[in-house]
A = this chain, B = another copy of it.
Amino acid sequence: MPRPPARPRLTILDVARDAGVSKTSVSRYFGPERSLLSESMRTRIEASISRLGFYPDRIASSLRGRRTGLIGMLVADMRNPFTVAMIHGAEQACRARGYSLVVCNTDSDDLLEQRHLDVLQGYNVEGLVVNTRGHSVAPLVARFEAGLPMVMVDRHLPGLACDMVGLDNAQAMHLAMTHLAEQGYRKVLMVTPPIPGISSREERTACFESEALLSGLESELFEVDLDNEPARLGERLAGWLDEAPACRGAILTGNGVVNLAVCQALHQLMPAPLERTGLLGIDELEWCALVGPGISTVEQPVGAMGEEAIIRLLTRIEGDAEAPVHRTFEATLNVRGSTARVD
């Protein structure tokens, strides 16, 4: 970053001079000590401020004042609609409370995550919302233990003993599997992104197995890394389309991204794949109702989760030092044609 722009800045001192008061008084005009100012002083300062068009420099004020009003958010994949909705909820919650949200997208890259973390630290964020791969937790843990308040969303990272906001995965999977059983399906193929290290996926797949047992469903787990071996999904699904009708099979997708990938792969294999297999997606996406007979989904209250993450975080920032809280939200079911009754 080369050459500086050299734009002269209007300072609190300019306002003070213009209003004929001390800079302390102008400082008080903003900030919590405002009530100390007399009526006349307040109007004088007010007038100068609007005449000059002054606005305070939050960066300078945070130096001595210690508060930046900045919340950092580290997300693994900004193009995931789930993440976007989460960001949106978090941003609204921040704004309503006078904070600003700085979002950093790691694109699931550990090195990038580290760099972003440094950047956010450098800007003295007051807290951090974390939603990453958790491949390299050590730097996060270090920051957390050094006193930086954090909240994890969707998943918790091993060794990071902070608050967490996520889905009640057991309830969600129960909802999904009982629905499939009720509709007459006999076998379920769960397609999930790579599981290791991501707690929400671990929980979902674990519950998948146990719920299958409870509901008397045959189960099969298919873990696929869409980034590195995109072809495998199509291959597996080609086989599945053959076996599914015979065994009354349904596919359960582990999140919105896989759900899309599965839809695309199925679509590529044959014209109307959902006549041969059931499909139930985790995460509600705006287009799910439009595809084929409509895709049934298990929906997370994402916006509310983003907001709750911020609420938790701000509570910590204000100094609450209770034991870490894990707050889960309930999923709801959207029944559509892709899980029509079979027999």
Question: Which residues in A have some Cβ–Cβ distance to B below 8 Å?
Answer: 1-7, 32, 53, 55-60, 62-63, 65-69, 78-79, 81, 84-85, 87-88, 91, 95, 97-100, 102-105, 112, 115, 118-119, 121-124, 126, 142, 146-147, 260, 263-264, 267, 285-287, 289-292, 317-319
Measured CB to CB, the closest approach of chain B to A251, in angstroms, equals 15
Contacts A105-B88, A291-B287 given; does A59 touch B123 at CB 8 Å: yes
List chain B residues, Cβ under 8 A from A123: 58-59, 100
Q: Which of B57, B66, B119, B318 contacts A100 (CB 8 A)?
A: B119
Which chain B residue lies CB-closest to A260? B286
What's the Cα separation between A118 and B7 when bound, in Å? 17
List chain B residues, Cβ under 8 A from A285: 287
List chain B residues, Cβ under 8 A from A260: 286-287
Measured CB to CB, the closest approach of chain B to A294, in angstroms, equals 9
Contact A1 B264 (CB under 8 A): no
What's the Cα separation between A59 and B97 when bound, in Å? 22
What's the Cα separation between A319 and B4 when bound, in Å? 9
List chain B residues, Cβ under 8 A from A267: 289-290
Which chain B residue lies CB-closest to A261? B286
List chain B residues, Cβ under 8 A from A291: 287, 290-291
Contacts A5-B126, A119-B100, A123-B58 given; does A290 touch B319 at CB 8 Å: no
Contact B287 A66 (CB under 8 A): no
Name which of A67, A103, A147, A290 has the most chain B CB atoms within 10 A of its CB: A290
